[in-house]
Chains A and B, each alone.
Chain A
Amino acid sequence: MSARRIFARPARLAAIAPYFWMVLFFLVPFGFVLKISLSQTAIAQPPYLPVFDPMQGFAAIKAAFAALSLDNFRLLVSDHLYAMSYLRSLVVAAVSTSILVLIGYPIAYGMARLPRRWQSVAMMLVIVPFWTSFLIRIYAWINILQHDGLLNRILLALHLVATPVVWLSTDSAMYLGIVYSYLPFMILPLYATLDKMDPALLEAASDLGSSPRQAFWLVTFPLSLPGVAAGVLLCFIPIVGEFVIPDLLAGSDSLMIGQTLWLEFFTNRDWPVAAAAAVLLLVLLLAPLLLYDRLQRRQLEGTR
């Protein structure tokens, strides 16, 4: 009993710490953004109205509250430009994530089946690009993809094309950049689940009459689904909000929501609309997160 009392206090603190972090660095800033999203744009400093000022007394704050409105959200819903932006973001994220699963799964599977000592080498190879700045790597891709870049020179030398292909400012270039950048985030969780799988399970499947292919689809794949889900979330959510890669590699004819947001914020100086767009994006992304949470909870209940 006494031991329990000694450890109770720090243990409780440790349990609270993540919530404290969430409140300080997520909920409070989100409160600011939410408030701005309900404000009106204004030529002022800061560039929106109303501004809460506790020094001006209770009545002023009450008036400020009354001035808040959902106008920005109405604008976002009514103007199809925003809807298109959201849609494009979701489509790009969905397509990229699908490609990432298709490429990442075989790589992770291959890594997990390598001899032990080669697995760490493969792991290094997956992680090593992180040692170079993300921005530099994207610029390197611009270099490779440009008119007289490496890719076109190779294609010409192999006589696969007669004239240089336009790669830059196309969706292909953007997808290439996204898949390249996010691949480690797909591989690592997949590898982690595939690696800890008991090889005896595959032997059991084989013993019970499964061909290697059946054993994969009946045992390996279903058991790796938590890894797939983790990889998909790790990639899908940041890709929806991705700004740099589409801005540098894709054309300017259709924008992802990250780019629209940037335009509203920096070019139009319309903080309230940008804030509303950000809030709506968060709501959209909560859906897959909640789904994942439910899935995981169901799995936990299953494994109790």
Chain B
Amino acid sequence: MLRLSPGYSTASLPATTGQTGIMTEDATNSANETVSAKAKPPDAASRETGPPAAATDSVLLRIEAVVKKFGALRAVDRLSLEIRGGEFFALLGPSGCGKTTLLRMLAGFETPDEGRILLDGTDIAQVLPHQRPINMMFQNYALFPHLDVRDNIAFGLKRARMPRAEIDTRVAEMVALARLEGLEKRKPDQLSGGQKQRVALARSLARRPRVLLLDEPLAALDKKLREGTQLELMELQRRLGMTFIIVTHDQEEAMTMADRIGVMNKGRLEQVATPRKLYEAPGSRWVAEFVGDVNLFEGQAGPGAGGRLAVSTKDAGTIVVTAPHDPATKSPVSVAVRPEKVKLSRGVPASGVVEAHPINRLEGVVTDVGYLGGFTTYKVKLDTGAVVRSSMANTTRLDIDAYRSTERVVAWFTPEDCVVLEQ
């Protein structure tokens, strides 16, 4: 079995140059190989990663057409993905989408049935977990209950046969990093949830892995603590310059922390993009619906004036939208509008404005008002029977201008606020 650079754990903190010359050569070789393999883009992933020539320099982990089957179920289905060094990457998806299986394949707990997983150009798909320079922070932390905090953190270092004195310094460093001073002699059962989480983090970072995998690392914490910890994790990742891959089902968490998010569905990557792009320019109808709330109108696309499309929909009449970059090929399309892009007003906007900016106006009756503190959500039942959702920030303390149930309103949004998606 291939053993990956056993000395990685003694490398200095920004562990990007811990490889030998032979390894680097190896990496470039297979990198070239992959460029040619990229002639047929496997899926959405390669669209997002930009020009391959630029990406290959910094790609740390390359997942190539990986398949994992459990019986008849293809948990991960020909998935390809590139993760750059120093990146904070989030795998987001509903439960059962295969994100955890993918993470477990990276850790080595599952072996892919097909495909390759290249770390620095070396295929590690068949390497046993204890021989990979990758560490994982487990969902329920999996702290060793019979060992105290210090021994939990030192566990991986001892296995790497690190000298005693060096272990002591490294543990002290990790204890400081995770703010665990004074708790070294405690057993896991004597720690609070947040402290356990920090011990698990310190333990998984102690070996200075090339990649740190985090499996729902914050799921067990309460909301306030979770938000604070998110920021800490980001700060830590930036400071260490380490590559983090986090699995989560919480979109806010993924949006807050990650540089890029890979949205998974049924074993495939639906889209890989920055949080903003994912939300404002979802690649598919499924992504638009999974990430955040959305209003969808189905219809036939036709040509419109000034580089715009006119989509004639059953529910909302003709909607004028900005034409997408890659023109939609199939005719039935969906127009997606986020609720906060839908504004409400009592009167019809002045006709002059309407002509200058082709605004989409939908008339209806407010049926439902949901006050959520920072903002209020409205449901407007259109005259066609369809329901449009709108959410508006509560920018003033007094609700003089709030819309009430049964009030007749105009819901409007601009063509730029619409995204055209193929069905």
Contact = CB atoms under 8 A, between A and B. Distances in A.
Given A302-B187, A304-B189, A207 B130 contact: yes
A200 B135 CA distance: 13
B220 interface: no
Contacts of A54: none
B189 A303 contact: yes
A216 to B, nearest CB: 13
Interface string B137-149: 0111011111000
Contacts of A302: 187, 189
B100 to A, nearest CB: 12
A208 B189 contact: no
B187 A209 contact: no
A240 B54 CA distance: 76
B268 interface: no
Interface string A200-238: 110111111111001000110011000000000000000
A198 interface: yes
A303 B187 CA distance: 7
Nearest to A299: B146
B144 A201 contact: yes
A109 to B, nearest CB: 17
- Most chain A CB within 10 A, of B140, B142, B155, B156, is at B142
Contacts of B190: 304
Given A208-B155, A209-B207, A223 B146 contact: yes
Interface residues of A, number: 20
B144 A219 contact: yes
A210 B160 CA distance: 9
B358 interface: no
B160 A201 contact: no
B136 interface: yes
Contact of B156 (A200, A209, A219): A209
Given A214-B159, A304-B190, A208 B135 contact: yes
B203 A208 contact: yes
B246 to A, nearest CB: 16
Interface string B150-190: 00000110011000000000000000000000000001011
B269 to A, nearest CB: 24
Given A209-B207, A303-B189, A203 B109 contact: yes
A304 to B, nearest CB: 7
Contacts of B139: 200
Given A207-B130, A208-B207, A304-B190, A200 B138 contact: yes
A19 to B, nearest CB: 29
B318 to A, nearest CB: 56
A205 B152 CA distance: 10
Contacts of A203: 107, 109, 129, 136, 138, 142
A209 B142 contact: no
A209 B189 contact: no
Nearest to B215: A200
Contacts of B108: 206-207
A203 B132 CA distance: 13
Nearest to B187: A302
Contact of B159 (A198, A210, A223): A210
Nearest to A201: B142
A93 B140 CA distance: 42
Contacts of A204: 136, 138, 142-144
A219 B156 CA distance: 13
Nearest to B104: A203
A84 B128 CA distance: 55
Contacts of B135: 207-208
Contact of A207 (B129, B143, B160, B187): B129
Contacts of A304: 189-190
A207 B135 CA distance: 6
A205 B145 CA distance: 12
A222 B147 CA distance: 10
A228 to B, nearest CB: 13
28 contacts: A198-B140, A198-B142, A200-B138, A201-B142, A201-B144, A201-B145, A203-B136, A203-B138, A203-B142, A204-B138, A206-B128, A206-B129, A207-B107, A207-B108, A207-B130, A207-B135, A208-B130, A208-B135, A208-B156, A208-B203, A208-B204, A210-B130, A211-B130, A214-B159, A218-B155, A223-B146, A302-B187, A304-B190
Given A205-B144, A302-B189, 11 more contacts: A198-B140, A203-B107, A204-B142, A205-B155, A206-B130, A207-B108, A207-B156, A209-B130, A210-B130, A302-B187, A303-B145
Q: Lowest 8 A-B CB distances belong to which pairs?
A: A209-B159, A208-B156, A200-B142, A204-B142, A206-B129, A303-B189, A206-B130, A209-B130
Interface of A: 198, 200-201, 203-211, 214, 218-219, 222-223, 302-304
